[in-house]
């Protein structure tokens, strides 16, 4: 295909060949320059809040049902950003920068009348090998908080990369009564297609869940081209009540990158055809050494300007520095200390809510937010 520059055709072919039979950490593999993105994976959690008013609106739901409905609407509305935005901004899916251990990403969406308070994002790379990214999004005025971590298990099958998302998110809503409602959010499987032509794009597959502590459960099924509706990016979501509530489930169908409708009424459920709001981030000159855009500045500039030699030199410096740090730690018998999160073997929210829909696996680890705000220097 013409997406691959002539000079990179053979290196793209050998990259694809090396993918065959591959399982493990894709992010560490060297790929040809045309497919490199100047953005680190630590920036991706921002996709969770690019429609801050939908996040805030969760708190406005007057009933358990209304809030579960609002959580589902917010979740579905994030999918377009999460899974198609690189195609929109760069022409195809690209290989993100592989974050270093301890890398940070901070930002916020300003307060306004529609969404209430300022919404803040704190991201930390909590593991490099395998890559694990932990994040926290808070709208404290509204009492809506999202905490999660994200990792991937990748394999190659039938010409596509299959990505199993490992990790989950929990959302909490503080109610006026003083009680806290919890939601466990699991994540869909991804297939990366279009590789042969050098223009990769994501399709979502299988099922993800949003389980509320109130018993309401969203089951979201994803289908692509060639499956029942024939259209790409199709989903069907069913919001079912807890067993003691005798109302019929909400069934929603549509395409997650455009719009969807409630099946029984035909009323629009979600609509992401309007522009989203990107996160506000401090200028690079004001960032600390561990902040993503500062840390990767040289590499990102090289990639953006097509100066791949300079990008590689800066990348080599970062990698050497990381290797030296790990060597020093093992020589001194110390380990890297996380700044904003604490690892736990078993996430109690996952255990408790996962049981309600027989989550697989039945338990998962987690990262607890330490409550220390960004830029509080250590």
Least Cβ distance, residue 18 to ligand 0T9 (angstroms): 11
Cβ proximity to ligand 0T9, 127 vs 165, nearer residue? 165
Give dist(CA 7, CA 37) in Å, integer. Answer: 18
Cβ proximity to ligand 0T9, 49 vs 239, nearer residue? 49
Please tell me whether residue 146 binds ligand 0T9 under the rule CB under 6 A. no
Least Cβ distance, residue 95 to ligand 0T9 (angstroms): 4
Residue with tokens 């549509």: 254
Least Cβ distance, residue 90 to ligand 0T9 (angstroms): 10
Cβ proximity to ligand 0T9, 116 vs 202, nearer residue? 202
The interface mask with ligand 0T9, positions 80-99, x = CB under 6 A, is --xx---------xxxx---
Please tell me whether residue 44 binds ligand 0T9 under the rule CB under 6 A. yes
Please tell me whether residue 150 binds ligand 0T9 under the rule CB under 6 A. yes
Please tell me whether residue 31 binds ligand 0T9 under the rule CB under 6 A. yes
Among 13, 127, 165, 172, binds ligand 0T9 (CB under 6 A): 165
Among 68, 97, 163, 359, binds ligand 0T9 (CB under 6 A): 163
Please tell me whether residue 149 binds ligand 0T9 under the rule CB under 6 A. no
Please tell me whether residue 121 binds ligand 0T9 under the rule CB under 6 A. no
Give dist(CA 266, CA 253) in Å, integer. Answer: 10
Cβ proximity to ligand 0T9, 130 vs 316, nearer residue? 130
Please tell me whether residue 58 binds ligand 0T9 under the rule CB under 6 A. no
Write out the binding residues for ligand 0T9, residues 188-247 only, by CB under 6 A: 192, 200
Q: Do 117 and 108 touch, CB atoms closer than 8 A? A: no
Least Cβ distance, residue 244 to ligand 0T9 (angstroms): 34
Among 39, 84, 139, 152, binds ligand 0T9 (CB under 6 A): 152
Segment interacting with ligand 0T9 (CB under 6 A) among 104-112, 157-165, 259-267, 317-325: 157-165
Least Cβ distance, residue 78 to ligand 0T9 (angstroms): 8
Phi, psi of 55 (to 5 degrees): -65, -50
Chain positions contacting ligand 0T9, by CB under 6 A: 26-27, 31, 35, 44, 47, 82-83, 93-96, 150, 152, 161, 163, 165, 192, 200
């Amino acid at each position: 295909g013409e997406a691959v520059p002539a000079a990179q055709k053979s290196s793209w072919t050998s990259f694809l060949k090396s993918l065959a039979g591959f399982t493990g950490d894709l992010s560490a593999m060297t790929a040809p320059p045309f497919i490199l993105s100047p953005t680190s994976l630590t920036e991706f959690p921002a996709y969770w809040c690019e429609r801050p008013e939908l996040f805030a609106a969760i708190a406005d739901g007057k009933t358990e049902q209304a809030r579960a409905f609002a959580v589902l609407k917010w979740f579905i509305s994030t999918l377009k950003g999460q899974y198609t935005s690189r195609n929109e901004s760069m022409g195809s899916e690209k290989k993100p920068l592989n974050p270093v251990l301890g890398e940070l990403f901070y930002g916020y969406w300003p307060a306004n009348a529609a969404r209430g308070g300022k919404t803040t994002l704190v991201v930390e790379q909590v593991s490099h090998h395998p890559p694990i990214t932990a994040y926290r999004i808070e709208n404290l005025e509204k009492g809506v908080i999202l905490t999660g971590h994200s990792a991937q298990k990748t394999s190659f099958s039938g010409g596509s990369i299959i990505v199993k998302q490992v990790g989950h998110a929990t959302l909490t809503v503080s109610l006026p009564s003083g009680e806290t409602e919890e939601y466990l959010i699991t994540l869909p499987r991804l297939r990366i297609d279009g590789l042969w032509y050098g223009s990769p794009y994501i399709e979502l597959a299988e099922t993800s869940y949003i389980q509320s502590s109130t018993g309401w459960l969203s089951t979201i099924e994803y289908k692509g081209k060639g499956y029942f509706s024939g259209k790409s990016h199709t989903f069907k979501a069913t919001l079912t009540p807890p067993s003691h509530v005798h109302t019929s489930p909400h069934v929603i169908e549509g395409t997650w990158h455009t719009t969807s409708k409630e099946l029984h009424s035909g009323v629009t459920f979600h609509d992401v055809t309007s522009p989203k709001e990107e996160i506000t981030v401090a200028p690079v000159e004001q960032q600390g050494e561990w902040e993503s855009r500062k840390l990767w500045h040289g590499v990102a500039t090289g990639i953006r300007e097509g100066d791949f030699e300079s990008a590689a030199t800066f990348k080599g410096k970062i990698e050497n520095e990381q290797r030296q740090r790990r060597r020093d730690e093992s020589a001194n018998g110390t380990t890297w200390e996380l700044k904003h999160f604490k690892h736990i073997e078993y996430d109690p929210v996952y255990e408790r809510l996962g049981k309600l829909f027989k989550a697989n696996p039945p338990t998962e680890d987690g990262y607890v937010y330490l409550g220390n705000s960004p830029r509080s220097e250590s």
